[in-house]
Amino acid sequence: MMKVVIFTLLAAQGYVLQAADDVQLALTLRAQTDFDRVILSGAPMLRDATACIQSEAALVPVAPAEDQPIVHFRKGYCMLANAGITADPAAWQGAAAEFDRAIAAWPMRVAALLRKKLPMEPVSSAVRVLAQVARLKANDGTADSAALGTAIDARACPAGVMAPWLCEEILGMGRQWQGWLALRAGDLDAAARDFTGTAGWNSWVSGRKAFRSARYAQAAADDQSAIADWSAARRQEPLPMLARIAPPTDLSAAYMELGGAQLLAGNPTAAILSLTQAVKERSANAQALYLRGRAQEIAGRTDAAQSDYSLASRVAFANATDLATGEAHLYRGILLYRRARYSEAEDEFSSALSFEIAAPMRADAGAWRRLAAVKTGACEASRAALEQALPTVSPYFPKDEARNAMAACVDSPARE
């Protein structure tokens, strides 16, 4: 009788274990199928990414320790696909957290492979890159640029994690992010190295280099090439997965830079068209409105120029927090200056300098303030200061006009 009971218990235990194995196998097959549907698609759909996230999440509690890194990686990749479609910051952060879990669990996988005397798999460099890219896309300030560079340089692409070709593509996309970070830091040489062979970005960096060296016609040509490449990429339907997680492009800023280069190259008519396109891309682009005002002014369209200066100031005020903006005061000061209200303009330029304002704009605001003072007749007091300020101004400041004003200035009796 005891033997029968023991046999029955063992049979029941075996049945339970078999059932558990069947459940685990079903979850594993479902998760793998859903992941394959995402990773094999050049542009996964939201429903597929969502199904993948759910099936990988269901597998996490039952997956053996050595498979945990792979499951977390796959869940993170599907969350990344979801974030690329929804642009939800929380989704980017969630993807980064899953990649972190995959990396943290990797030693368990290595230990299991060693016990089975199988080849050891290092942490895939692509997983490390994606963890940092997700943080960059979340824009939460947690990205580690040094870790990104280290992962790219390691170039570890074990086939057990993903196809080597995909790993290489992800590393290439990570290098683009390095270029984007270098560009944001103003390091054009480093950006040029990282963007080598990257359509759009390589032309953009060449354009920034040409602009810095005052080769404005070349800068405009490079900018146009970059815009053409980026516009073509934006028209792809559906947008490929890697394009969704690549560094962001800002066509409004690109058209603004193009218009600025065209203006300085002596083509204000083309500049007006480009700057109008910049405003169409982003109506709140106050600097584009200001530059269009400069182009209108140089083209002899005085009323249109003053209208743009006024609009630039209003937009800058609307963009500001608590109406505290040096940029808006600068544009309003230029408008008042063009209306020959020099004392009021001088006050506006002083206000511009009392708020946060970008370095090139600060230099311009200081020079405009001196120029306004010169126009009020404060020649002796302001002429020397204006002369000292001119080497620091942006190329958009009217240097020739300032020099003519200094040459023509005679101190008024009230200022003597």
Going by C-beta distance under 8 Å and a sequence separation of 6 or more, which residues neighbour residue 181? 145
Tell me how far CA of residue 19 lies from CA of 46, 116, 124, in angstroms.
32, 26, 34
Task: List the domain range (segments joined by +) for residue 75.
Answer: 1-162
- Res. 24: pLDDT tops 90: no
219 found inside a domain: no
Residue 4, domain member (yes or no): yes
Residue 108 lies inside a defined structural domain of this protein: yes
Please report whether residue 43 resides in a domain: yes
Q: How far apart are CA 351 and CA 365, in angstroms?
A: 9
- What pLDDT score does 11 carry? 44
Question: pLDDT for 91-123, tens place per residue?
Answer: 999 999 999 999 999 998 888 878 888 777 889
For residues 344 and 367, the answer to whether their CB atoms sit within 8 Å is no
pLDDT digits over 186-239, tens only?
A: 999 999 999 999 999 999 999 999 999 999 999 999 999 999 999 999 888 888
Flag whether 103 is in a domain.
yes
pLDDT at 344 over 70: yes
Domain count, the chain: 1
Residue 381 lies in a domain: no
Q: What is the pLDDT of residue 18?
A: 53
Q: Which residues of 124-143 are buried (b: 16+ CB within 10 A; e: fewer)?
A: bbbbbbbbbbbbbbbeeeeb
Asked whether the beta carbons of 63 and 105 are under 8 A apart, the reply is no
For residue 184 the two structure tokens come to: 């944001």
pLDDT score, position 409: 81
Is 70 exceeded by the pLDDT of residue 17? no
- At residue 81, what is the residue type? A
Q: Specify if 409 maps to a domain.
A: no
Amino acid letter, 304: A
pLDDT digits (tens, 9 = 90+) for 231-288: 999 888 888 999 999 999 999 999 999 999 999 999 999 999 999 999 999 999 999 9
Given a cut of 60, is residue 306 above it in pLDDT? yes
Quick one: 118 exposed, middle or buried, by C-beta within 10 A (0-12, 13-18, 19+)? Answer: exposed
With CA atoms as reference, report the closest residue to 46 among 99, 87, 74: 87
Q: pLDDT tens digit string along 117-147? A: 877 788 999 999 999 999 999 998 899 999 9
Whether 62 is covered by a domain: the verdict is yes
- Report, as an integer, the average pLDDT of 280-307: 97
